[in-house]
Amino acid sequence: MYNWFIFVILSFFNAYFHFFHNNRLSDSSFIYVHSRKSWWDAQSYCREHHTDLPSIRNMEENKLVYQIDTGLTWKWIGLHRNLWSMWSDGSDPSGHEPNNPRDREGCVRTLYGEWDIANCNDVHQFFCFDHNTNATGEATTLSGSNIVFIPKIKSWWDAQSYCRKHHTDLPSIRNLEENSLVYQIHNLQAWKWIGLHRNLRSTWSDGSNSSYRNWKDNIPPTRPAWTENNCTVALSNNGWQWADKQCNSKFNFLCNGGKICSILFQNSLTWSDAQSHCRQYGGDLATVHGPENQTRLVEVARKYNSHVWIGLYDDVESWTWSLSENANYREQNGLKHECSHTN
C-alpha cells in the first residue's frame, strides 16, 4: 500500500504547465506539482514531463522547497535508499532477489533458471552479452538472442574481463524469456556466471575518497555486510585506532570544521545524529586523510578520553548489472525501498 504525498519536482527546462496544477518556485528550476502520487509515480511523472525529482544540494535550495506552505503536507524529493535492489536504473521492484540476499558474497550464478549468490572469486562457466550475434570459436549464441555461452571456467571478475574484451559484457537478464534462454544451457549441471553483482565498500560521510585506514591491530572488519556494525569509532583505550560499531550506539564525535580544524562535541549521539549535528554547523563527521590528520584527531579527542565517531561507514551498494541498462526482472523475494521526504 503506497503512502501518497504531494511532491516537488525539478526541471531544468522552461516546461509548459497549467497554473492551477504546477507552480514554478521563484527564480529557480524547482516546480511544485499539486498531484498526489507515490514516490515512484512522482519520479516517472517528473521524468516524462520535466527532468527528475530534485536533488537538494545546499541550504539555499532547501529554503526554496520550504517556501511551499500547503498545510504541513509532505512533498517528495529525489532522495531514496535502495540497499538490496539489483537494477541500475532504480526501477520499482518487481520479482525477487537471489537466495541469501544478506550473504556477504556478491556475484550471481544461474543453474536451471534459478539464481544463487556466490563468491566472485569462485570459478564457473559464464554467459556474455554481445551486440553482434555472430559467435565465434567456442562461444555458442543462444537462439534468437544476444546472449552467448562461454564454456571456459573463470572467476566472475575474469569472466567480466573476457566478455568485455571479446564480446560486450556479462549479460543482464531483463525478463522471464531471457532467463529461459539461459536455462537452455544445462551441461554437467554446472553453474554459469551472469552479470549481476554487489559491491561492498567503506565510504566517508562527506563523500571524499580518502583511502587512509587505521584499524585496530591493522585488521579491517570482516563481519558480514548485514550486521549493524557499519560505523567507525576512534577508540580511546587502543591508542585511538579505529573499530566498527553499531551505528545506533551513542558516542561523542568529531566534526570537520574546515580545512585544518576538527571540533569535538561531547554530545552522546548515534552516528546518524552526529552526522546531522555536524552538518547543521556547516561541517561533517571527520574524514582522516592520513597520519597527520590522525595525529590531529588524537590531540582533540584525548582531552576527554572517550570513544568518538568519525565519518567512515560501510556502504552496501545496490545490486547492479555489469552491463548498465534498463532492467526490471528479478528472481525470488524482493525487499521494499525507503524514500526520503521533507516537510
Q: pLDDT tens digit string along 256-281? A: 654 445 666 767 888 888 888 887 77
Q: Are 36 and 303 in contact (CB under 8 A)?
A: no
Domain identity same for 164 and 149: yes
> Are 208 and 299 in a shared domain?
yes
Q: Which residue has the cell 525470488?
A: 332
* Whether 311 and 326 share a structural domain: no
Q: Which three cell numbers stand for residue 36?
A: 498526489
Location of C-alpha cell 552496501 = 316
Same domain for 130 and 119: yes
- The answer to whether the beta carbons of residues 30 and 64 sit under 8 Å apart is yes
Answer whether residue 255 shows pLDDT above 80.
no
If pLDDT is split at 50, 70 and 90, which confidence band does 56 have? low
Q: What total of structural domains would you count in the chain?
A: 3
What distances in angstroms separate CA 112 from CA 148, 152, 159, 224, 226, one per listed residue?
A: 16, 18, 20, 28, 28
pLDDT score of 11 more than 70: no
- Same structural domain, 261 and 232: yes
Q: Is residue 273 part of a domain?
A: yes
Whether 91 is in a domain gets the answer no
96-148 residue pLDDT tens? 344 444 444 456 677 656 667 766 666 777 677 655 544 445 555 555 667 78
Q: Is residue 88 in some structural domain?
A: no
Torsions phi, psi for 160 (to 5 deg): -60, -45
Domain that holds residue 268: 202-316
Residue 86 forms part of a structural domain: no
On whether the pTM is more than 0.85, the answer is: no
Please indicate, yes or no, if residue 121 is contained in any of the structural domains: yes
Residue 89 lies in a domain: no
Which of the listed ranges 11-15, 79-83, 117-121 does the model predict with the highest average pLDDT? 117-121
Choose among 5, 67, 60: nearest CA to 38: 5
Q: In this structure, what C-alpha cell is assigned to residue 198?
A: 554487489
Q: Residues 58-89, buried b or exposed e (16+ Cβ, 10 A)?
A: eeebeebbeeeeeeeeebbbbebebbbbbbbe
The answer on 304 and 172 residing in a single domain is no
What is the per-residue pLDDT across 18-47, written as a single tens digit (0 to 9) for each?
A: 333 444 444 456 676 767 666 666 667 777
Predicted pLDDT of residue 253: 73
Whether residue 322 is found in the same domain as residue 186: yes
